[in-house]
Structure 1
Amino acid sequence: MDRIRVLIAKPGLDGHDRGALVISQALRDAGMEVIYTGLRQSPQQIVRAAVQEDVDVIGLSSLSGAHNVLFPAVVKELHKQEAEDIIVIGGGVIPADDAAELERNGIEKIFTPGTPTGTIAAYIEETVKGGQTEAFAPVKRIDHIGIAVHSIEETASFYSTHFQLKVEKVVDVAEQGVRVAFIPAGNVKLELLEPLGENSPITQFLDKRGGGLHHIAVEVDNIEERLNQMRKSGVALIDDIPKTGASGHPIAFLHPKAAHGTLVELLEGDDQDGYV
């Protein structure tokens, strides 16, 4: 496959380009050809350069607050030039609600401050190589919330008495040192985690924190592809490869520092309700 060609541009009157230069170098380091057009470019100039350079991707950077006008203007100009096959991504100081609106209006992806450059490079590579893959698809749902408890029976009694939520099943997962109770609660499940012995990681959690929220689990379509993408993006993992959960579904945990202090579990489910 030919090297991916990316044009980095600063639309409008924004006079700061340090971030654009950092991204440009990171993409070059990832093996891409990068053209940087400099400051204060109009949408027409950006698209003209992109077409002339035959790029795969336009990366827009804005710190001026004009992203809601300038980014869609670039997309519109691409359509006018019949060059809508060029992917447009953006970054800068962009509020979350603005980012969502821009993505609804033709920007492939908005990267906000703090996004690792490896994540951006991996996204570009996967998107250009084969369109959106399962590694970048939204998670299917929050599957369950894991709660560390001293006693499943005592905790389950609380949920049954006050919320009329009943335990569906209880299983021992000896290899993980945990006894697990599953409580359906609408479109999500509660997973009560009781330690099996002093060497259980749940025992350590209870000793340190006294119980409570342990992790959240999200369902994904292809856990191996998702883990591979996260690894390439520099995301800290606890499990480099999937392991089998209590019900036979593949699962893997991300390191809490990856999600700013929250332990996140990936789960590859199926068309039926899958417990881990």
Structure 2
Amino acid sequence: MTSGAPAPGANMKILSFDHVGIVVRSLPDAVRLYIDVLGGEFVHGADDDDRGMRTIQLMLGGRRLELLTPVTPECHLHHFLDRFGEGFHHMTLLVPDVEQAAAELTGLGYEVVDPNLTDPEWREVYIRPRSGFGTLIQLAETVHDWNRPRGTETLEDVLAGRVHWDGQRTVVR
């Protein structure tokens, strides 16, 4: 196999690069850099009560960034912060069929983990970092344009914890 050539049998279809996730200890501090200084534009955000984290998504230079922080003691992001510190967490690629993509990757010997196929509006699976050359890669299938606001929340609402996810939409508490 030559450099740049697909693996035998590989024909993975990637629709688009969706976003990069960055784990931070303080969303207000991160907002000062990514929005106030670098000029990012708030798109949406909310608390994921099931996972114990708060996220903010913003557009910066034509691409979307997701800032993530833990808000409950049980949140898995505490372990990430303790082990690696703040910084790059994952990248997300959109695919037309996440189950097919997972099967192809598994068949080629890549380790695929944490499938969540229960919500038809956002189905996901991850390529474990040891299979992704140190990168956690999220593959997702969605029916939404996530570059647009999801609700009526403001950045201030999200920072204050007044917004949560209800399925694939944000709701002010």
Name the aligned partner's letter for residue 3 of structure 2.
P
Q: Which residue of 1 aligns with 2:31?
A: 156
Give the Cα separation in 2 of the matches to 1:185 and 1:140: 20
Tell me the SS of whatever aligns to 1:153. helix
Q: CA RMSD in A?
A: 2.4
Aligned to 1:250: 123
Choose which of 82, 100, 121 in structure 2 pairs with 1:225: 100
Judging changes above 3 Å, is the alpha-carbon distance between structure 1 residues 201 and 249 closer, same or farther for their aligned structure 2 residues? Answer: same
For residues 82-231 of structure 1, what are the structure 2 equivalents within 5 Å? 91=1, 94-96=2-4, 99=5, 110-111=6-7, 120=8, 123=9, 136-231=11-106
- 8 Å CA contact 2:15, 2:94 repeated in 1: yes
CA distance in 2 between counterparts of 1:189 and 1:202 reads 20
Answer 1 or 2: which has greater helix percent. 1
Residues 19 and 92 of structure 2 are in contact (CA less than 8 Å); yes or no, is this contact kept in structure 1?
yes
Does the CA contact (< 8 Å) of 1:144 and 1:188 recur in 2? yes
Q: Is the 8 A contact 1:227 1:241 kept in 2?
A: no
Structure 1: 5+ residue stretches without partners: 1-90, 100-109, 112-119, 125-135
Return the letter of the residue paired with 1:255.
Answer: R
Question: Structure 1 length as normaliser, TM-score?
Answer: 0.49
The structure whose Rg is larger is 1
In structure 1, C-alpha distance between the alignment counterparts of 2:131 and 2:98, rounded to whole Å: 17
Question: Could you tell me how far apart the structure 2 residues matched to 1:199 and 1:138 are?
Answer: 36
**Native 8 Å contact 2:19 2:64 kept in 1:** yes
Cα separation, 1, equivalents of 2:98 and 2:51: 20
Aligned residue type for 1:209: F
Matched, 1:239 2:147: no
Q: CA deviation at 1:185?
A: 2.2
SS in 1 for 2:42: coil
Which residue of the partner structure matches residue 264 of structure 1? 137
User: Do the aligned residues in 2 keep the contact of 1:197 with 1:203 (CA within 8 Å)?
Assistant: no
- When residues 271 and 203 of structure 1 are mapped into structure 2, their CA distance, relative to the original with a 3 A threshold, is closer
CA contact (8 A) 2:39 2:60 kept: no
- When residues 181 and 240 of structure 1 are mapped into structure 2, their CA distance, relative to the original with a 3 A threshold, is closer
> How far 1:271 moved relative to its partner?
6.1
Question: How many residues end up aligned between the 2 structures?
Answer: 149
SS of the counterpart of 2:114? coil
Same amino acid, percent of matched pairs = 23
* Cα contact 2:25–2:86 (8 A) shared by 1: yes
Deviation track 1:195-236 (CA, whole Å, cap 9, x = no partner) reads 022221111111111110001111111111111222222221
**1:244 Cα shift?**
4.3
Q: Is the 8 A contact 1:243 1:252 kept in 2?
A: no
Q: Is the 8 A contact 2:115 2:124 kept in 1?
A: no
**Could you say if the C-alpha distance between residues 221 and 150 of structure 1 is closer, same or farther in structure 2, counting changes exceeding 3 Å?**
same
CA distance in 1, matches of 2:32, 2:102: 37
Distance 2:3 2:12 in 1: 21
The SS at the match of 1:225 is helix
Task: Please report how far the alpha carbon of residue 269 of structure 1 lies from its aligned counterpart in structure 2 after TM superposition.
Answer: 2.6
Q: Structure 1's 241 and 271: CA in aligned 2 closer, same or farther, altered over 3 A?
A: closer
The answer to whether the Cα contact below 8 Å between 1:243 and 1:251 also exists between their aligned partners in 2 is: no
